Amino acid sequence: MLHREYFPFLPTPESEPRGPVDQPMLGAPAPEGWWDDSSRLLFGAAEHIAAILHEASECGVHLMTPFAGFCAFSAGYLNLYVAKYPRMNLGRSPRASDCLKMCLDYLEKFRLVWKIADGWGGTRKIKTIHHASVLYERATEDRTRYQGRTRADFDTLHQSVHEFRVVDRSDAHTREIRGAERPSAQATWPVQGHEHEHEHEHELDTNTLLNQLFAEVSNNLDEQGAWSQWSDTSGESSRSASQYDSTSTSGRAAKRVKRDEVGNADFLDSEESDRGNWAQKKSSRTSYKTENADTTSSPEATAFENVLPPTQIDADAIETYERMRSSTTQADDDGATAETKPLWVQGRSSIYVDAFNLALDTVLEEESELFDEKEKEVFRKWKDLTYEAQYFRLGYHSDISELEEAIEALKAVQKLPPKDSQDTEELVPGFDLESFNLGATFTFADASEDYIDTVEEAASLLLLDELKALAKDAKIAGKNKAELVKGLCRMSQQQVGLMTLGLSRQNSRDSDASVSDPEFAGPSKSGRLKRQNSNRNEHYLNKMLAILGPCIRLSPLTYKLFERVHLVFYRSTEWTEKSLTTIILAKIARRKFPEYIVCRTSTIFASRLHLLEFEAGIRLEADVDNILESSGIPSEEDLQRIMNIFEMVYPRWKQYINDEGEKERMVYEMGEGAYLRRFNPAHSYTRIIVKAMWVMGRRKEYAREHELLEELLDQKLFHLARRGSWYQRKALLEEHYMPSVDADGAVGDLGQRKKQWKRIAATTCESALQDPDCHLIHHYDLQKRLIKLEKKLRIPRRLQHDFGHVRLAEPLEVNVEGIQLKRTPSAKPGTQQASTKTIWLDELDTGGECSVEEMCLSHFRSQGWKGYHAEGGAIRTIFAYLFYDILFLYIPNVFQTEYQTCPLDLHTDAFFPARASEINHRLVEIANGQGERLLRQVWDREHESRTSVVGLNWDFDVDDMAELVRCFKGSALAAICKVMAQEYKHRGGGVPDLILWRATDKSADEEAPSTREEPRGEVMFAEVKSANDRLSDTQRLWIHVLTGAGVTVALCNAIAKEVREVD
């Protein structure tokens, strides 16, 4: 820490370890060579602390003391500092970014144990480290922005970097960073009246997901209540949602609101980074995929987010929008100018409410027929709510001034008109399509005093310290919360249920306890509070409710209704809060989007009945998935449940197959049917049938499974991408199992039946290889099976299939020797070394440190190759160039906003069949050597505006890309593009690390202009593997694709000819 005081808080562009810009905190002069040694010791210590904490965690040792936490925070800050200013350690900290992530990962765990950690690296604006990152990013982006500023200009932020106690100075940090900017520096937020200036102004690059903003209204994971959606309604909860940020540790705040785990933001990646950065966060997803869980956390972006640009979605961007929105609204309301009104009034303007209302207004304007009169009345009541009540209903309360009024408005019982539609069970027998019917009345929120009626429910909401105090009075022992809840339930003679395990049977999202009566007339204490007459039970229940105080939760009925609104708006069963706010923020982001026709039709769901059955199908599919994906082998009872669901949906599936077949012939045009069918109930039913076939296989019901496979392959409407796997399974059954189960269907002995079924299996393989909807990735296995079958059938060699032209070549084995650098281990003897990327010396190029991929790339460059360490980046860029016009071809319903970088169906199996004619024509052009012409045309037209297109990285040199395309054999490049077109979502990963090319002599090309379709060079992909690395399944698949297309693939083994220890 003493060394740190000598280093400038904000270095100048020319700074290096010598002479501080600021007046040092210590007055002693620096001896000769002190700066070099000091920087090595200072930043080396930061790296060692990060490594120690990471290694300890990997070994199961968790250092959760306040001192260790402060060390992690200090190390994280210093690693951020040297990552932004590597020259301050003479480039000796290449792992600073990784070490920063290690520190933040530790602090995320530390935060669950100690409240003080929330001020160091937690949620919302990521506190001190986030603001330091913002400052350094702005300073490096524009060197004049903070010219001449010193530590004194950032006194509050500097104090936060050094202090050990918890003080939230977020607002002061922001004011300091903005206030210290020089007038000539570019603004990072729009100024009223000058919104169109600075067309290329900087956008912050923290990539903080929106759900980090409400991850903080939470409770320690060990203290989460089972009813995770209950929120305190006491006056204390009106303070900031970031309850851990306050200097006071008392009060209950919003501790009973569920916290979703959110990974640390990567402060060091730019906004142009791959969307995969977002895969490092766990997004809180509202999903129809299960009825047994509140949220679905997924590392992947939703289907809706995949088509949107990587727009800046951090707190500053949101605050900018809200200031603009508020000032515009106020000026419009009373005719006053923006200068005479405050820019932002808390609780009166929020991007979340605007985003929610945009979805609702859009659906009601275009597809109101999907909702009955009761549901429309709920929407009208929503519109009548105050802004504060709407804001609170969406889960936020930090800026609401009149919290009690908002709570009372949400709890108010409201009347609904009588039912005006026919019972859906009569229309679709056997299906409960309206399991969440609205009754005669409804509320937006439920009160705990009306709904909590058991000790189990109340105890599950208590915090751990409260449970311990209660258990002490009751003389109950328990090591954790679950054991304490069980003990209290036993004490009060209550039966312990699922809630002691952290599952709520009556929460906002998944409960049907409050909707068992379709005409339920609102909460009634006499009808709801069915508490036991036991004095002991009554005593403990009342005691718990007194501790809890009044709580509210979202009403399950209205929650399900608004969930349906989002389904209709997003055309997706998954979304995050980011999905819609990105649309809003994209309007103020200065980006150029491709030209296409926006088409949002109201024909996706033909009727209310269609929508309800689609929802029901999704839930049935989720039930099947939950059975199969649960831990352990499914029991016979579980398998029978799957078969019962199958028997229920199978007749409806056959009916939809017939109906959609007629529509395909008579109604659909321009390939629109492929995408629309994703919103047909049969889309879910098909997946259920596939899962049921797995059950039949386990039960050895091969004849029934084979029959269903034939039915699936006879239709070409649903899940076309699965046809290859269906063919493979069908051929396997015919080769090995059908002769034994089909004794009545064939004549002769078992040997003759086997021979007959082998012929049928061979025919199945032939049909698969001729099927244009059987994806290329399945061809290799089908070809192998067909060759094997023909040999077993002793077909004459001249009549056998010959796949020699596509036979896979073995990847080349290339050994590349280099000098590996190893840091001096800082861990104690016997502890495991942290798992990090190896560091090598780039002998053939820069002479500095580099990754193993860069070291191998330098090796190949020395042999005359050009190349990139791009993994799938170069392939995605080439695909975007060559298929630009096809990507943005008019197909109904796939472009629903003006801010898309690709069609909505690109990441589905509907993309290829909807454009099969155009794609196949383009593949022929590419095979005939027209790839460079197509690439140049797109570059000439779009490069100046840098149009936002999925996968297209404008940073790749166009001449390099053009030369690379020339070096490809046309048929090979076409095969690669076909795989991308068929399965873009799944084939973005697994591409070998290095893409290399080597052009032939130009004079040779000039002498033979007629052979333009032939490659004018050679292309090679190289997968770099260091010690103990293994190929993944996706990597093996790409190697098969590339070698099958005739492209050379090398497995590059990095061998350390020398290992050097470095500090």
Domain spans in the chain, listed from the N-terminal domain onward: 4-180, 606-718, 720-803, 812-824+837-1001+1014-1061
Q: Quick one: how far is CA 1027 from the chain centroid?
A: 31
Strand extents, DSSP E, 755-835: 812-823
According to the per-residue pLDDT averaged within each range, which of 270-274, 327-331, 626-630, 947-951 is highest?
947-951
**How far, in Å, CA of 806 to CA of 960, rounded?**
28
CB-based burial label for 1010 (10 Å; 0-12, 13-18, 19+): exposed
According to the per-residue pLDDT averaged within each range, which of 107-116, 295-304, 475-484 is highest?
475-484
Minimal CA–CA distance to 731: which of 771, 699, 691? 771
**How far, in Å, CA of 973 to CA of 16, rounded?**
48
| Predicted pLDDT of residue 932 | 94
User: For residue 446, what are the β-bridge partners?
Assistant: 553
Q: What is the mean pLDDT of residues 812-840?
A: 72
311/440: higher pLDDT: 440
953/126: higher pLDDT: 953
Non-local CB neighbours of 528 within 8 Å, separated by 6+ positions: 450, 451, 453
> 726 φ, ψ to 5°?
-65, -45
Alpha helices in 534-605 (DSSP H): 535-548, 556-570, 577-586
First CA to last CA across the chain, in angstroms? 19
Cα Rg of the chain, angstroms: 32
Percent of the chain with pLDDT over 90: 19
Q: What is the mean pLDDT of the chain?
A: 72
Non-local CB neighbours of 715 within 8 Å, separated by 6+ positions: 657, 661
**How far, in Å, CA of 925 to CA of 921, rounded?**
6
**How far, in Å, CA of 787 to CA of 554, rounded?**
61
**How far, in Å, CA of 178 to CA of 145, rounded?**
10
Residue 7: band (very low, low, confident or very high) from pLDDT cuts 50, 70, 90: low
Is 930 a residue whose pLDDT tops 80? yes
> 804 φ, ψ to 5°?
-60, -30
> 56 φ, ψ to 5°?
-65, -40
Torsion of CA 933, 938, 939, 941, to 10 degrees: 120
> 850 φ, ψ to 5°?
-155, 170
| Predicted pLDDT of residue 194 | 36
**How far, in Å, CA of 487 to CA of 471, rounded?**
8
| Predicted pLDDT of residue 958 | 94
The full 3-state SS of 80-137, as one line of letters, equals HHHHHCHHHHCCCCCCHHHHHHHHHHHHHHHCCCCHHHHHHHCCCCCHHHHHHHHHHH
Q: What is the mean pLDDT of residues 260-278?
A: 30
Which of 121-125, 435-439, 680-684, 690-694 has the least mean pLDDT?
Answer: 121-125
pLDDT in tens, 150-175: 655 666 665 665 554 444 555 555 55
Residue 560: band (very low, low, confident or very high) from pLDDT cuts 50, 70, 90: confident
241/742: higher pLDDT: 742
Is 549 a residue whose pLDDT tops 70? yes
Sign of the torsion formed by the C-alpha atoms of 965, 970, 976 and 981:
positive
Which of 188-197, 484-493, 872-881, 974-983 has the least mean pLDDT?
Answer: 188-197
In degrees, rounded to 5, the angle at the alpha carbon of residue 621 between the alpha carbons of residues 618 and 626 is 125
**How far, in Å, CA of 1052 to CA of 612, rounded?**
54
**How far, in Å, CA of 652 to CA of 673, rounded?**
19
Cβ neighbours around 917 below 10 Å, total? 9
Instruction: Convert 198-209 to b/e letters by CB count within 10 Å (16 or more is b).
Output: eeeebbbbbbbb
Minimal CA–CA distance to 912: which of 969, 970, 966, 986? 986
Q: What separation in angstroms does the CA of 727 have from each of 260, 677, 764, 770, 807?
A: 42, 22, 7, 11, 20
Element (H, E) at 1023: strand 1017-1025
Q: What is the mean pLDDT of residues 84-102?
A: 83
pLDDT in tens, 991-1034: 899 999 999 865 444 444 444 557 789 999 999 987 667 777 77
CB-based burial label for 534 (10 Å; 0-12, 13-18, 19+): middle
Instruction: Convert 398-410 to b/e letters by CB count within 10 Å (16 or more is b).
Output: bbbeebeebbebb
| Predicted pLDDT of residue 222 | 30
Is 665 a residue whose pLDDT tops 60? yes
Q: What separation in angstroms does the CA of 796 have from each of 734, 787, 801, 802?
A: 22, 12, 10, 12
Q: What is the mean pLDDT of residues 833-837?
A: 58
Strands 812-823 and 1048-1062: parallel
Is 809 a residue whose pLDDT tops 70? no
| Predicted pLDDT of residue 174 | 59
234/711: higher pLDDT: 711
Structure tokens given for 336: 């006053």
**How far, in Å, CA of 1035 to CA of 1042, rounded?**
11
Is 503 a residue whose pLDDT tops 80? no
pLDDT in tens, 883-905: 999 999 988 888 887 878 899 88
**How far, in Å, CA of 857 to CA of 868, rounded?**
8
Q: What is the mean pLDDT of residues 294-301?
A: 38
Cβ neighbours around 603 below 10 Å, total? 12
| Predicted pLDDT of residue 233 | 47
Which of 21-30, 247-256, 771-780, 1053-1062 has the least mean pLDDT?
Answer: 247-256
DSSP type of residue 866 = E
Q: What is the mean pLDDT of residues 593-616?
A: 85
According to the per-residue pLDDT averaged within each range, which of 135-149, 444-458, 815-829, 949-963 is highest?
949-963
Is 940 a residue whose pLDDT tops 90? yes
Structure tokens given for 436: 């969440």
Minimal CA–CA distance to 658: which of 700, 711, 618? 711
Residue 242: band (very low, low, confident or very high) from pLDDT cuts 50, 70, 90: very low
Residue 16: band (very low, low, confident or very high) from pLDDT cuts 50, 70, 90: low
Minimal CA–CA distance to 400: which of 549, 578, 235? 235
Structure tokens given for 806: 């596509």
Q: What amino acid occupies position 255?
A: K
Structure tokens given for 265: 């933001």
Is 1040 a residue whose pLDDT tops 70? yes
Which of 270-284, 861-875, 909-923, 1006-1020 has the least mean pLDDT?
Answer: 270-284
| Predicted pLDDT of residue 239 | 29
Q: What separation in angstroms does the CA of 571 have from each of 609, 611, 659, 974?
A: 16, 11, 21, 32
DSSP type of residue 348 = T
85/256: higher pLDDT: 85
pLDDT in tens, 328-370: 544 444 444 434 333 334 445 567 777 788 888 888 988 889 9
Is 394 a residue whose pLDDT tops 50? yes
Q: What is the mean pLDDT of residues 527-534?
A: 43
SS3 content of the chain, % helix, strand, coil (to 5): 50, 5, 40
Q: What is the mean pLDDT of residues 208-213?
A: 31
Which of 153-157, 560-564, 965-969 has the least mean pLDDT?
Answer: 153-157
Q: What amino acid occupies position 253?
A: A
> With contact defined as beta carbons under 8 Å apart, do 686 and 719 qualify?
yes
**How far, in Å, CA of 653 to CA of 296, rounded?**
27
The whole-model pTM stands at 0.59
Q: Look up tokens 């056997």; give the residue.
A: 430
